[in-house]
Amino acid sequence: MSLNSKATLFLVATPIGNLSEVSQRTLDVLNSVPVIACEDTRNTLKLLTHFDIHTKMIAYHNFNEEGSSEGILKLLEEGNDVALVSDAGYPLISDPGYTLVEKVIAAGYDIVTVSGPNAALNALVASGLETNHYLFYGFLNAKQSQARKELEELRTFPYTLIFYEAPHRIEKTLRLMHEVLGDRKACLARELTKIHEQYYRGNLSELMELKDLKGEMVVLVEGYREEEKEIDINELLAEVDTLIKKGEKAKDAAGTVADRYGFSKNKLYNFYLKKDK
């Protein structure tokens, strides 16, 4: 089933929850290729069983992309088309496959993408944040110190930022985003295409209040705004002073002013503490 005489690697997107999002073309390709390379054969078996597909599966391992790619190249060399799938959505998007694609391009075989669902795009279009320009970041590093550095690098990027995150890290990650990026507009999209699909839209400080977030989730954060560049820290500190004179505690005053300008509360409070030193 190659487009040319050469064998083809099909990159096939699969559902991110709702199985009825499978297209006819996806089913046709998965039915007609001799081999499907999967991230986890147990997960793909569920999909294939649901659609009564009996194609042979092989594992394409994230932890051994080099080794797994060699096996697939051999299949292509022998004239077999191969479909690569991940557990959900597009292969290669926060999922294995990049090494394979590099090698398949270098070896001169055809590559065809079979479209389907993707969590980042589903979330983006319904987020209410800017969609014309955006940056898909995927997962931040699991180590907080590293994640902080990554966010610092993204801080002045002027377009919507899209992140994937696991439920056991979400609370920490939202706090870190708030600290580094300031109290920007954001959206948390969970369980997309499933029964309990939900969107939480608000500032990062509001999303931080959400408790017991479960399931699969995408976090989107508004990009850096021009106004942030023009913030004069001395003006902000003067407003903090005014509130303190009216009786607010320094920390609360810094929080109020920071919120007003979409600035980081901790940063402003730290500036306040250091201002007369």
Q: Which residues bind ligand SAM (CB under 6 A)?
A: 16-17, 86, 88-90, 93-95, 118-120, 164-166, 189-194, 216-218
To ligand SAM, the closest distance from the beta carbon of 186 in angstroms equals: 15
Question: 271: closest CA among 229, 233, 232?
Answer: 233
Starting at the edge strand that comes first in sequence, how are the strands of the sheet with 8-12 ordered? 56-59, 35-38, 82-85, 8-12, 110-114
Please identify, using beta-carbon distances, which residue of 119 and 180 lies nearer to ligand SAM: 119
What minimum distance in Å lies between the beta carbon of 130 and ligand SAM? Answer: 20
Nearer to ligand SAM, 94 or 99 (CB): 94
Q: Which is nearer to ligand SAM, 150 or 252 (CB)?
A: 150
- Of 82 and 192, CB closest to ligand SAM: 192
Report the nearest approach of ligand SAM to the CB of residue 202 (Å): 18
Separation CA 84–CA 122 (nearest Å): 22
Cβ at position 141, least distance to ligand SAM in Å: 14
Gap between the Cα atoms of 89 and 258, Å rounded: 38
Q: How far is CA 154 from CA 16, 132, 140, 166, 223, in A?
A: 27, 18, 11, 20, 9
Nearest to 236 by CA among 256, 213, 210, 216: 256
Q: How far is the CB of 126 from ligand SAM (least distance, A)?
A: 11
Query: At residue 97, what are phi and psi to the nearest 5 degrees?
Result: 140, -20
The smaller minimum CB distance to ligand SAM, of residues 163 and 272, is found at 163
CB of 25 to ligand SAM, least distance (A): 17
Structure tokens at 36: 């499907």
Residue with Cβ nearer ligand SAM (170 or 258): 170
Name which of 135, 199, 190 is nearest 165 in CA terms.
190
Q: How far is the CB of 18 from ligand SAM (least distance, A)?
A: 8
Residue nearest to ligand SAM (CB): 89
End-to-end CA distance of the chain: 73
Quick check: helix, strand or coil at residue 105?
helix
Give 45 or 243: the residue with its C-beta nearer to ligand SAM.
45
* Euclidean distance between CA atoms 225 and 262, whole angstroms: 9
Structure tokens at 249: 């505690």
